[in-house]
Homo-oligomer: A and B are copies of this chain.
Amino acid sequence: MMNLQAKPVITVFEHSPDEGKGMARDMRVRWALEEVGQRYDVRPVSFASMKEAAHRSHQPFGQIPTYEDGDLILFESGAIVLHIANHHTGLLPQDADARARATSWVFAALSTIEPPIVEREVVEYCEREESWFEQRMSSVDDRLRNRLKDLSHRLGEADWLDGAFSVGDLMTIDVLRRLAGSGLLEEFANLLTYVARGEARPAFKRAFNAQLACFNAASTDCNQSPIANHKESMK
């Protein structure tokens, strides 16, 4: 039966280069949508079509994800996740000051923690054959360790960064997940537990399974969010 209620549509990689590990930036948007219980549709885009004018009219830099809800078109995972958090309950506290503080963590994840992680991936994938590979990797890892050390120190023994779970934790955890396999996260026991705590959330699991199904299935099969299926199954 067709659902006539409008749902937001997000774009994702048609064939994610991570092969279903959920490392692409649609994962954080799927997770946010699942946390707030908002159904969504998915439109897979190929690497070729991402760079064409139609997609660029939604995403000027030819990337994923985008978010479309009626006439509204957003890009940048940070802006999308913050928009979802602002328009639903579940990802931001009620208190105005606490809401603003959660936003600080969204920006910290994207502006302070993620850039050296992306840089590490550039070294790993593009500079492996260069004579300077070892030296560069060690220098990027040192910069990254400083960030992780500061984050670990701030988190301490707490479950989440600032009181209850918020969009700040969602973004920080999703950014840290990109370090899987680097061995760096293992140097900070509380960060490892922190990431596992996020990944144990039912909404995370639904989002993860949805992106995995999307990778495994033909693209037409991933056009339904698990929460939608979940809700349909309860009817």
Contact = CB atoms under 8 A, between A and B. Distances in A.
Interface in A82-122: 82-83, 97, 100-101, 103-104, 106-108, 110-112, 114-115, 118-119
Interface size class on chain A is 35 or more
Interface string A11-31: 000000000000000000000
Interface string A121-154: 0000010001110011001000000010011011
B118 A76 contact: no
Secondary structure of the A side of the interface?
helix
Given A74-B100, A83-B100, 19 more contacts: A56-B150, A60-B151, A61-B108, A72-B100, A72-B101, A75-B108, A76-B107, A77-B111, A78-B107, A78-B110, A79-B100, A79-B103, A79-B106, A107-B110, A111-B114, A111-B115, A115-B115, A126-B139, A131-B132
30 contacts: A60-B153, A61-B112, A61-B150, A62-B150, A63-B112, A72-B97, A73-B101, A74-B103, A75-B108, A76-B107, A76-B108, A76-B112, A77-B107, A78-B107, A78-B111, A79-B100, A79-B103, A79-B104, A79-B106, A82-B103, A110-B111, A111-B111, A111-B114, A111-B115, A115-B118, A115-B119, A130-B132, A131-B131, A131-B132, A132-B136
